[in-house]
Amino acid sequence: MNESGREVPMERQAFSSVATTTEEELDRLRAEWEALPYGSREQGEKKRAWMRTKFEFDRPAREEKARLLRERLEELGALPIRELLQRRLDQAPRITGIPARTMAELAASVEATPETMESAVQARIVEYVGRVKESCPQPDVEDLPFFGLLYELSRRARDPAERARFPWLGAFTSFPSFQTHYLQDVSRRRISMFRCQVMYATERSVHPERMVTARPEPGRNAWHWSDREKFYQAAGTWSLLPDKISEYMDEFTFVESRVIDEVVDLIESGYRPSDYSHASGSAALWPIGRQGAILSSGELLERQHPIRTGEAGDEKHGSGLWNVYGDRGFRGWSAYNTIAWFDESFVTFGISQAKQEEYLRTVDPGSRKSGFGESLSLMHSGLVGEDDDHKIVDYGGEGNLLGPQVPLSSVDTIYAWKAAEESVRHWIERFAPHARFVSFEAHSALMGSGSFVNALGIQEGTEPVEAWRSLKNHAVVVA
């Protein structure tokens, strides 16, 4: 009881002796609550008492850690940005590539010879597919070495001489050919799981993205690289981006130097992100080009066209959405597409509001199959005149409704990984010459680090483009 005669709760009693609490006492308190029946009231009280006592016991250490962090940040904040950037580059983990293996080495990884390798690889594929559950599992890091093998075989399959020597490599040139050869009798769900693991391996082990976040220790996000991991496409000159001074300065973001050149071009051309964006994938690019528009899943199925990326629809029953949806502004790539093979890329279509509204005014409201009624004939609420009642809102959680289709005349930007630039530019030249290519990496670098690079320019009395170019002086070369 306290001085007023009121009983002090058990969890509060621990504070009376916190100044003299030892680690042995904490261990004793923990052992007490762990020994009690799980979920009982007494266990809950004892556990809360232990947690509060430990919280107070750890307070001096927390305060000392916070003091040291404040001193560190004050010291770093006093440095010129250029000096801080170079110091961080010297401290950053090294980017390391996974070397390509010979065919004999690849065969040895599955306990085979080059001549018997095909059957060994097929057995491994059967084993993997057989243990994948009929539900969406988390991609497994333990399977990365095997999918790394598949990636290396897909890379060798691009060489006609290799295919002539090992004809079975022809199945590794694309996912459709791989599926036909190795996954012919596999359920759609298991094929989907296989694709998820390909995407995981592509993003983590292959890493075609020309931006990488490195950490001295394994990161909180397993999709990012740390110095305990390597990736195949590491060759290049990687420039370190400046970052805000914070407790998270143990993270280091690099971009390949050619991304810096693209950022400079974007600044000089007055780049602004598109009004709307629709996420897709490179597997859908050429069909969309031949169609002349981004079509809804419902229309694709009505035309008996396969759904290649992430459009919501039910191919089995021939049903789907009757409109195309997107995000307001540019949101990067998203889960609306699964990379099915190692040479694929996420692709996002940037859409002009004015051009899409112009198209929508040509659409007969009565012909639409959205299920929301004829009044929904123009774009998202707020994008049309105040006296116009025909406004569309996001009723179904699919995003902003853009219309029954998005003609390519409404597309002003194609976003993709920098590594896919050549193929995407070829597509643009053929189907949408009015559009521009912007890499995901250049957009992310400009939006994420632009203010810090501008501050660097102000400190040194240079223009932003010169400050960006100077980042190429703070780079590491990976052979």
Residue 5 is assigned to a structural domain of this protein: no
Tell whether 193 and 299 lie within a shared domain: no
Q: Are residues 185 and 320 in the same domain?
A: no
Alpha carbons 76 and 246: distance in angstroms, whole number: 10
Give the pLDDT band of residue 14 (cuts 50, 70, 90).
very low
Distance CA 32, CA 50 (A): 9
Confirm whether 249 is domain-assigned.
no
Q: Does pLDDT of 259 surpass 90?
A: yes
pLDDT at position 61 = 87
| Residue-level pLDDT at 308 | 60
37 is a domain residue:
yes
pLDDT of residue 425: 98
**pLDDT for the residue numbered 387:** 36
298 and 208 both lie in a single domain: no
Q: Sign of the C-alpha dihedral, residues 266, 267, 269, 275? A: positive
**Residues 301, 225 share a domain:** no
pLDDT exceeds cutoff 50 at 375: no
Burial (CB count <10 Å: 0-12, 13-18, 19+), residue 18:
middle
- Expressed as residue numbers, the domain containing 205 is 103-233
Q: Which residues contact 25 (CB under 8 A, 6 or more apart)?
A: 17, 53
Highest mean pLDDT, choosing among 199-213, 406-420, 447-461 = 406-420
Note if the pTM is more than 0.85.
no
Give the least confident one: 245-259, 342-356, 407-421, 454-468: 245-259
The residue-averaged pLDDT of 240-246 equals 78
Of 267, 246, 262, nearest in space to 440 by CA: 262
Query: Would you give the DSSP letter of residue 392?
Result: B
Whether pLDDT at 297 is above 80: no
CA of residue 432 relative to chain centroid, distance: 26
Do 223 and 314 belong to one domain? no
pLDDT at residue 321 tops 90: no
Distance separating alpha carbons of residues 359 and 372, to the nearest angstrom: 19
Range in 117-126, 366-375, 464-473 the model is least confident about = 366-375
Q: In one letter, which amino acid is 346?
A: F
Whether the CB-CB separation of 414 and 391 falls below 8 Å is answered with: no
Q: Amino acid letter at 50?
A: W
275 pLDDT band, cuts 50/70/90, is very high
420, HSE (Cβ side, Cα atoms, 13 Å): 26
User: Does residue 407 sit in the same domain as residue 298?
Assistant: yes
pLDDT(352) > 90: yes
Would you say residue 310 has pLDDT above 60?
no
pLDDT-derived band at 374, boundaries 50, 70, 90: very low
Distance CA 207, CA 441 (A): 12
Q: Are the CB atoms for 297 and 351 separated by under 8 Å?
A: no
More confident: 377 or 259: 259
Which positions ≥6 away from 287 have C-beta within 8 Å? 305, 308
Q: Are 207 and 234 in contact (CB under 8 A)?
A: yes
Q: Quick one: pLDDT at residue 216?
A: 62
Decide if pLDDT at 178 tops 80: yes
Predicted confidence (pLDDT) at residue 349 exceeds the cutoff of 90 = yes
User: Residue 461: inside a domain, yes or no?
Assistant: no
What is the spatial distance between Cα 42 and Cα 25, in angstroms, rounded to a whole number?
19
d(CA 281, CA 348): 7
Q: Read off the amino acid at residue 355.
A: K
Number of domains present in the structure of the chain = 3
Task: Judge whether 476 lies within some domain.
Answer: no
Residue type, 199: M
Quick one: residue 339, left, alpha or beta (phi over 0 = left, psi -120 to 50 = alpha)? beta
414 and 273 share one domain: yes
Taking the C-alpha atoms of residue 197 and residue 417, their distance in angstroms, rounded to an integer, is 19
User: Do 117 and 37 reside in the same domain of the chain?
Assistant: no
Asked if the model's pLDDT at residue 433 lies above 60, the reply is yes
- Residue 466 confidence (pLDDT): 96
User: Where a domain ends, among 212, 233, 254?
Assistant: 233
Are 414 and 349 spatial neighbours (Cβ–Cβ below 8 Å)? yes
Q: Which are the contacts of 252, defined by CB distance < 8 A and separation ≥ 6?
A: 88, 89, 91, 92, 93, 213, 214, 215, 240
168/93: higher pLDDT: 168
For residues 377-400, give the mean pLDDT. 44
Residue 77 burial (C-beta neighbours within 10 Å; 0-12, 13-18, 19+): exposed
* Contact (CB, 8 A) for 226 and 215: yes
Does residue 302 lie in a domain region? yes
Q: Quick one: pLDDT at residue 245?
A: 65
User: Cα(260)–Cα(418) distance, rounded to whole angstroms?
Assistant: 11
Q: Is the pLDDT of residue 419 over 90?
A: yes
Name which residue leads in pLDDT, 295 or 211: 211
The pLDDT of residue 208 is 95
> Within this chain, do residues 49 and 150 fall inside the same structural domain, yes or no?
no
Residue 38 lies in a domain: yes
102 has pLDDT over 90? yes
**Within a domain: residue 321?**
yes
- Could you tell me if 303 and 427 lie in one domain? yes
* Residues near 180 by beta carbon (within 8 Å), at least 6 away in sequence: 171
Residues 292 and 159 in one domain: no
Question: Among 218, 252, 321, which Cα is nearest to 92's?
Answer: 252
Phi, psi of 395 (to 5 degrees): -80, -30
- How far apart CA 361 and CA 187 sit, in angstroms, is 43
pLDDT bin (cut points 50, 70, 90) of residue 373 is very low
Same domain as 330, residue 278:
yes
Phi, psi of 432 (to 5 degrees): -150, 65
Smallest Cα–Cα separation from 235: which of 207, 213, 263?
A: 207
Asked if 414 and 350 touch (Cβ cutoff 8 Å), the reply is yes
Does residue 248 surpass a pLDDT of 90?
no
Higher-pLDDT residue of 90, 72: 90
Nearest to 172 by CA among 203, 190, 191, 150: 150
